[in-house]
Structure 1
Amino acid sequence: MSVFTRHNVFFGIIFSLFLFIVLTADRHDSFAVSADPDPPVLSNIHVVEVGTSTALIRWTTDEGAEGMVNYGLDRKFGIERSLIPNKKNHEILVTDLDAATTYYFRTISLDEAGNQSISDDFTFKTESTVSSPALEKILSAEQRELAEKALEILGKIKDPRALEIIVARANELAGELGEHPQIIGSPTVKEIGSDFAVISWKTDREADSIVYFADERAYAPDSDDPYPESQGDPDERVIEHGVRIIGLAPATKYHFSVSSKGEIGGRGFSEDGEFQTKATLPEILGVSLQKVEADAATIAVSTNIPTSIIVEYTNTRTGEKKLKGDPTFLTTHTVRLTDLSFAAPYTAVVKVENEIGDKFTSDPLSFFTVRDDAPPVISKVTNESTLFPGEDVKIQTIVGWDTDEPALCQFFFHSGLAADERSTESTPPEGDPTQKHVQVLTSLLSSSVYKFWIECSDRTGNPSRSEDFVLITPEKEKSIIDIIIENFSGTFGWLKNIGK
């Protein structure tokens, strides 16, 4: 049998490395030694074209000779020979190759005198029938080629049961590897607001992006689940990660840990980190001029969060500036600006500040002082009665109210709900104008109902009257004798006549 007989070899493995060799012989398959003692010189050996299942190999010899190519997955070479003898330029197409596979080859040329030349070993790799950019990210060339070959073979499998077995084995191997993405360095809190935070980090390979977090009260470092909340994207696969956590509480300290998981392997976690959200910035929702008087003005301000307030007001005619404020942290403020000049132009600027010092300033508000023709507004009317027990039971009732400007007020009342001018009583008129008013009554009877109202007038005589209010005085406490008599009265009716 000729040594140049072509061999077909099946290798029962999935991932293979092929080798090939080129041989040259005369047309009689003879290696007889002729008078020509010099073998052909081989040169310019190269692979011209490579496909998924073919490779075109060319080389030249310095004399006419036959050419053959030995090739294979290893050095057990198969043979492909040229059918045209005595050529100097040789070209052999090797066929029936496997895609995405590396082959070894060498060329052999034999002249008519039987002199043989064998080249060194060379390699080429057939093209892949699959395309996956992710393959380029596999650092090991060997692992990359094996993965490429596996994809080639998987593309030929159509049996669902076979695919299930492969997937199960792949998951089993992934679990055995158990390697999770490595988080490079420490996560960075890139941006913090009053209700959000942006956290970024990097991993050594593509993975998802999750941030686990908890406020200071909910954080449980000794628990299996120290962070009760999480946000992120479990479907993305990136190396540079960024998650915007939303819905946070303002001015609050949070603990967090970033986490990433790839397609296979476990989930990686960072060490615990901390950040604190900013306080909600104050914002003025509304500024209104409630009342303008000859020498005063009342400004109402509402804010989005509790703030203190300062109003800076300026007489634009004289340039004189004054300040008036309220240090109480509230969402609504009413500030009365006093000591203004009559018939003068003013501008007012409202400045608010939250509890940690964040500030907000309104646009200027302009007004002109005029003669006051608006009556005082009566508000915040309260009453409280106290019973003082003893032989001579006494009732003390304290009534209070506010007016939006200094005013003189008088308290009116009568027993019962029906109007009766003859039974109406009143306290003496107040002596000094004020905005906070208090009256103390000691003449009211216990267990009684009274109707009352308030009448006021400001310094320019503008009158106002409040709505009607109802006041109920407390019931007189019963003595021990009264209680005993009541308990027996149901049984001994004659007890009702005692004392009559």
Structure 2
Amino acid sequence: MKSKDTSANLAVEDKDTNGALLTFTTTKDSTGPVISDIEAVSVTKDSAAITWATDELATSQVQYGTGGSYNNFTVLDEDLETSHSVVMKALNPSTGYSYLVISKDSSGNESVSSIYLLTTLDDTSAAGEGSIDGEGEEAVVEEDTTAPTIFSVAAASVGDTSATITWLTNESSTSQVEYGTGTSYGSSTTIDIDLELSHTSALSGLTADTAYHYKVRSKDSSGNEAVSGDYTFTTLKESESEGVEEKAVEEEKKAGAFLSFVGSLFRRDSGASSDVKKASSEASEKAAMVEAKRVADIPIIGTSGPVLADISSTEATIAWTTTIPANSIVAFRPESQGDEPMEASFISAGDFNKFVEEHAVNLKGLYPNTVYEFQVKSMDSQGKVNASGINNFETLSEPTIFDVKASDITSDSAVITWKTNIPASSKVEYGSGAGYGKKAEDSKGLSFTTLHVSGLKGLESEKVYHYRVASTDLAGRVLTSGDMTFKTPPRPKIGEYSIAQLTPEKAVLKWKTNVECDSTVEYTPYRKKKLIKAEAMAQMKPELSLEHEMIIGGLEIGITYQIKIKSKDLHGNDAAMKIPDYTAKVDTTPLEISQVRARNALLAGNEEKIQTIISWQTSRPASSQIIYQAGVKKDPRSETKTPLDTNLTTNHVVVLTSLRPAAIYRFNVASVDGFNNSVTSEDYTLLTPQKKKGIIQVIAEGFEEKFGWVKNIRGGK
């Protein structure tokens, strides 16, 4: 320590009065954040935003569900904030949801809130598609006409002349109590207009050792009022009221300890639910504290219980507290037996001989996906018994895996999908044999869902893979499918290819691939033996095919080009080949015609005209034209020419439709290539038929069959 006075005199001290060095020790943060101001906002038919505050920087997450099961979690927001907002999505319309919020500070101390309730809108309650993500207009909420639900009504801190009445509602509302010595009541407390979920109302001026009747009233912000049934309590005798206050303080401490006790039972990773459908009595810590002040000589069951925890398809744990040591009994039965008296059909479980104030009973052998009624009971060592009301819970479904599929299979990847009937994690084991050896799973195995998608990458082409899927549910049960297989397709390969000059500026490239692919050609000129990349050109066809044909243009005679051909399949796998350099040049070799063939038939529905198909081949791509005339004698003045087809090809087909039946015709075929090399065939004759012959029949005979009666006039054939 250092100190300096106004005259700049400095004093330094590093030891205490015993001569030991001065030290201090920091304390470890072991307290979780204090959660407050929890509210559901922007509620639509399929989403809701939950907001809350913490007294220190902490993470944000919401756990929620329906029917007493908390199987859903929002994605953990690890950003440390004091103001929290989390959106629950994919909710069902017109559905009640229970939820709680979870925040963890930087030291790892976690706090879990009480249970809260919300109800999503129905499909008709929103204008357009309501959204809380900023898309579209905000949902329009219909007028609230539903009164609050009142539950957990109790008389606490009963003295000789006073009592405190407590209750809970499922929505914020006012507080008032009517009371008197009969069911006509006659007295009432002043209305507390503060809108609360947890209600406390003090009664004073009562008469000692007197039985009182009372009922509670609560009205929500829309003016909807709920009124409870009739309840009773009896004030103490004057001699019994001494020490009440001291006992109440002690019970308040016990109620606080119970919150920690329930937290130890509440296991979020095993699908635990701290709610019962009817009894969400822990919705307010305040109410729990008030109830703990109740004083009597029987084991009072506090409003902070019973609590449902650690639920699975076949087990559930019930927890509660009592004001004095007592044993722990749970009576339960399937709800389907509800017509029978509870005493006649229930099953009892618990510890009959151990007397404690904090109780937990594990129920085993339950049926999956079943609603159970239950009641907790506690008896002290003097034989005095108390019991809770009848509540219920629903066990989880028995987990199953179904619809396992492999899809989007490429040469190096595949997508595995499957479904589970309850939220569970996702993992795929795969490999070249039934021993697998590799796995793909979600991050840390903590993403619980019913629709599972897992991508497999780095696979080998043309290989059979074995796989099976596994999912672990919130209760820790592992589900595994049977062995299944899929085969990866081959990667694209480029096979035989050819290139031919069409014109001085164009060439045609042809190639084949083993799988359907698109077509791309890249070509770059050399100038003075140097590759000029700045002049590179490319042609591309997106259509998928096994046989590829591309025409490249802009060639210069005498210039050599580097040429690459590329093909990519549907899944993005590609193949490329660099072919030998190609030099554009004028082709002066004679153009040749071969395989001249003709087929004809009478046109359907017309006996006077013939349809004739004439085909031939050329040694390189060239145009197509036919020169013909009626009769055997050649007369240039009567020749007819078909329109010139300038498309350059090696396989030529021309159709004549103006020939007459039973007539002789002379014809020649002619072609001109891209370098103006021309060729005309020798003379051919044909005889059109007299009888009707359908064009389908002509085609079926095939172009390959020789037209036997075509005469080669020059050759005498």
Normalized against structure 2, the TM-score is what?
0.26
Greater relative contact order, per chain length (Cα 8 Å cut-off, separation 6+): 1
TM-score for the superposition, normalised by structure 1: 0.36
Larger Rg: 1
